[in-house]
Each structure stands twice: as C-alpha cells, then as structure tokens.
Amino acid sequence: MITIPLYIILFIYLAYLAVVGVFLYVHLSHLFHNGALTFVSFSITIIIFALAATTLFFTFAYFSNIDWQQPLTLWNNNWITNTLNPSSF
C-alpha cells in the first residue's frame, strides 16, 4: 500500500501559488517598464488581483476544515485482489 500524508498536496498548492505570484510580479513589472499605465490596463490589473484575492480567501476557508495529518492512499493491492476475486460475484 502506497500512502502519503495529505499535507503534501498543500505543499504542491503552495508551489503553485508561488508560480502565480511570479507571474503577477512579471505582469506588474511589464506594466511599469513599458509605461502602459492606461485606464484599461489598470482595470484589468485590479480585476486580476481581485480574482486572485477571492480565490485565496475561498481556498483558505475550504482548507481550514481539513485534517492535514490524514494519509492519502495512492495505491492499495487489495483493490485489484478484491476485484479479481471470484467469491465476490
């Protein structure tokens, strides 16, 4: 049986958030570097940050009720043996 702790998924999610943070930083640096601070670019930037903040809020609300110490079973040999067992028919 192959199991991993559930908090490994949290580390993967944190790595994803770091990548999104880098992309947001690159987005802002291109805006300032190119001098493209128009109303439209500012509005789109505000919408992107609002969606990111909303996503983080609902993610935190969802993740706060999870017991991160529970094991996550990736593979169990009993799944195959119980499926192929003729006594289960």
Do 20 and 52 contact (CB within 8 A), yes or no? yes
Do 2 and 73 contact (CB within 8 A), yes or no? yes
51 pLDDT tier (thresholds 50, 70, 90): very high
Q: What is the pLDDT of residue 88?
A: 54
Q: What are phi and psi of 32, to 5 degrees?
A: -75, -35
Instruction: Give domain limits for the chain.
Output: 2-67
The predicted model gives 47-52 an average pLDDT of 91
d(CA 30, CA 22): 12
d(CA 21, CA 10): 16
The predicted model gives 16-44 an average pLDDT of 87
pLDDT above 90: residue 28? no
d(CA 48, CA 71): 35
For residue range 5-20, list pLDDT tens digits in order: 989 989 999 999 999 9
